[in-house]
Amino acid sequence: MTRLRKDETYPPGMGSRIEIAGSSGRTYDFTALPEGVVPPFQGATLVFAEKRRGDWRVLDVRQTDYLPRGDWRPILEQIRAERPNARLLYRLNISHRVREAETLDIGGLHLAARAEAA
| pLDDT for res 39 | 86
Rounded Cα–Cα distance for residues 73 and 113 (Å): 25
pLDDT score, position 60? 96
**The pLDDT value given to residue 2:** 42
Query: Which residues of the chain, if any, have pLDDT below 50?
Result: 1-13
Task: Specify the amino acid at residue 96.
Answer: H
With contact defined as beta carbons under 8 Å apart, do 87 and 33 qualify? Answer: yes
pLDDT of residue 5: 41
Q: How many domains does the chain have?
A: 1
pLDDT at 3: 41
Q: Residue 25: which residues within 8 A CB-CB, separation 6 or more?
A: none
- Check residue 107 and give its pLDDT: 94
Helix-then-strand count for the chain, H and E: 2, 6
Domain span at 32: 3-117
Element (H, E) at 60: strand 55-64
